[in-house]
A and B are shown apart, each in its own frame.
Chain A
Amino acid sequence: MTLFTQQLFNGVALGGVYCLAAIGLTLVFGVLRIPNLAHGALYMLGAYVTYFFLTTVGVPYVAAIGIAALILFVLGVLLERLVFHPLRNAPHTHHMIAAIGAMFFFQSVAQAIWGADFRRMETPISGSLHILDAEISAQRIVIIVTAVVVLALLTWFIKRSIHGQTIEAIEQDRTGAALVGINPAMVSMLTVGLSALLVTIAAGLVAPINLLSPTMGDSLNLKVFAIIILGGLGSLPGAIVGSFALAIAETMTATYISSAVGEAVAFVVLVAVLAIRPTGLFAKAVQR
């Protein structure tokens, strides 16, 4: 029972990380109608920039994540403006090729600056808490709390603030949005910037638990794509539920079967969902 509770908390913490990564990806899909294959590379850069500010510059942990998130926001805006925007009327394959190009570019930049070796980001938050009969590391508590707070803020932003509502307006009707004075180009930049900001928070939170490497984004990329397909492309609740479901399934499988199977479980679930319900669990009604 102790092991189970322990792993449940680990799963929830991992779910929080996936969630922050998946929500940005699903928003970008909703607004730009493209799968941003460079999302994992943004996650990797977010981790390295956090690492840079924490260890090289020496700012406090939370500030390092904040600065990195803002830097990545700007980078996301630039990525939209310089790569996706010029291709907005091109066939979708062009976007995917460009995104993969951006991914390799980011990985090369990280490798040129920080080298190809694994790096460890020291855990700035130490200690652990006893909850029920399990011992939960403080880092995981921080991950869970931050994920919940960020999700609440994001939900408020998208549902309540007029600038956030423009994101949903564009998703639901591009022409209607333009006719009420919303600038689709601005919203596209905002959305990619926001997705980079969110994935950086995820990266900064999980970096002390995992190792940093220029290719660390690849497996996350695959998993968040599995999550947003599982949840239904473009669906926010789908991305949230999908993240936690997948993370808990992964953690439990790794604990009770084997860690190799744990890594594979995401794709087993994905294949099963695609076979039974190809539009995903929370599919938005197909928009014509």
Chain B
Amino acid sequence: MLSLENISVGYDATDVLHGVSISARPGELTVILGANGSGKTTLFKTISGLLRTRSGTIEYNGQTIQRTRANAIVKRGIAQCPEGRHLFGKMSVEKNLRLGTYPHRNRIRTEEILHEVHDLFPILKEKAAHPAGSLSGGQQQMVAIGRALMSDPSLLILDEPSMGLAPLVVDQVLESIAQINRNGIGVLLSEQNAKASLSIAHRGYVLAEGRVVLADDADKLLDNPQVQAAYLGL
């Protein structure tokens, strides 16, 4: 269970997040909706330890983690597939994936997860020897998700994985995310594509200008007139 209590985060003089409280239950798929600049990326960077909170607490499985460094948070079981992917562009796809195992470096587990990742994204097996930077956007996104999975996380954070991808690829990526969640890994997903993401999620939050404006079960959010007006164009 990940729970954020009343956290505020900012750059320089201004706060980007103002007293945000969200939680992600184990094994569930939680989606964060919000327009550009609503604070989704800041929120995720804070959970992963790339940014520090100004106030509030972050707990994961009962332990406080808001002062823990990014590399140590991965070891606690929270893996992030960041916005912009941050792949090792000149290394092969295979090396990128294997570096993902750095937090545990368990040989048997590595081969098991690598097998699962190849099942999920068969193209990554085909392109194993290619430099990650030479792949298409959708394939790079798969490498990024795969690399995060290789750390054997209990919670996978995905920051707008569909950004900049062709509609057909978006469907494919979202379907893989649903599959990852069905395999038992908790997912925290940020999206602008409300309908598609809510339809695979258990719970959702709507973020606007750094505040949580709505929080509910995913199916209720889909029926919510505010959400429909703002995101579904109904």
Binding site for B on A (CB under 8 A): 162, 165-166, 168-169, 172-173, 175-184, 284
Convert B60-100 into 0s and 1s, putting 1 for each residue whose CB lies closer than 8 angstroms to a CB of A.
00000000011110110001101001111111000100111
8 Å CB contacts to A: which residues of B110-148?
147-148
Q: Is B11 an interface residue (CB 8 A)?
A: no
Contact B50 A180 (CB under 8 A): no
Shortest Cβ distance from B133 into chain A, in angstroms? 9
Given contact pairs A162-B99, A165-B95, A178 touches B88 in the complex (Cβ within 8 A): no
Contact B102 A179 (CB under 8 A): no
- What separation, in Å, do the CA atoms of A179 and B95 have in the docked complex? 15
B contact residues around A284 at 8 Å (CB): 90
- What separation, in Å, do the CA atoms of A169 and B178 have in the docked complex? 29
Given contact pairs A166-B102, A173-B86, A173-B88, A182 touches B71 in the complex (Cβ within 8 A): yes
A contact residues around B71 at 8 Å (CB): 178, 181-184
- What separation, in Å, do the CA atoms of A180 and B150 have in the docked complex? 9
Contact B86 A169 (CB under 8 A): no
Contact A179 B48 (CB under 8 A): yes
Binding site for A on B (CB under 8 A): 48-50, 69-72, 74-75, 79-80, 82, 85-91, 95, 98-103, 105, 147-148, 150-151
Contact A175 B50 (CB under 8 A): yes
8 A-B Cβ contacts within 8 A?
A: A162-B101, A176-B86, A178-B50, A179-B48, A180-B103, A181-B75, A181-B103, A183-B71
Closest 6 CB pairs of A and B: A176-B86, A181-B103, A181-B74, A178-B70, A172-B88, A183-B71
Given contact pairs A179-B74, A182-B71, A183-B69, A162 touches B86 in the complex (Cβ within 8 A): no
Nearest chain A residue, comparing its CB with the CB of B78: A179
Shortest Cβ distance from A24 into chain B, in angstroms? 20
Shortest Cβ distance from B96 into chain A, in angstroms? 9
Contact B99 A175 (CB under 8 A): no
Shortest Cβ distance from A78 into chain B, in angstroms? 21
- What separation, in Å, do the CA atoms of A284 and B131 have in the docked complex? 14
Pick the contact of B105 from A162, A168, A183 — CB < 8 Å?
A162
Name, among A166, A168, A180, A284, the residue most crowded by chain B CB atoms within 10 Å (CB to CB): A180
- What separation, in Å, do the CA atoms of A240 and B86 have in the docked complex? 28
Contact B74 A180 (CB under 8 A): yes
Shortest Cβ distance from A287 into chain B, in angstroms? 9
- What separation, in Å, do the CA atoms of A168 and B96 have in the docked complex? 11
Contact A181 B87 (CB under 8 A): no
Contact B86 A181 (CB under 8 A): no
Pick the contact of A179 from B79, B90, B105 — CB < 8 Å?
B79
Contact A181 B102 (CB under 8 A): yes
Shortest Cβ distance from B160 into chain A, in angstroms? 15
Pick the contact of B80 from A179, A182, A183 — CB < 8 Å?
A179
Contact A172 B91 (CB under 8 A): yes
A contact residues around B102 at 8 Å (CB): 162, 166, 180-182
Name, among B82, B87, B102, the residue most crowded by chain A CB atoms within 10 Å (CB to CB): B102
B contact residues around A175 at 8 Å (CB): 50, 82, 86
Pick the contact of B70 from A162, A172, A173, A179 — CB < 8 Å?
A179
Shortest Cβ distance from A31 into chain B, in angstroms? 13
Given contact pairs A162-B102, A162-B105, A166-B102, A180 touches B91 in the complex (Cβ within 8 A): no
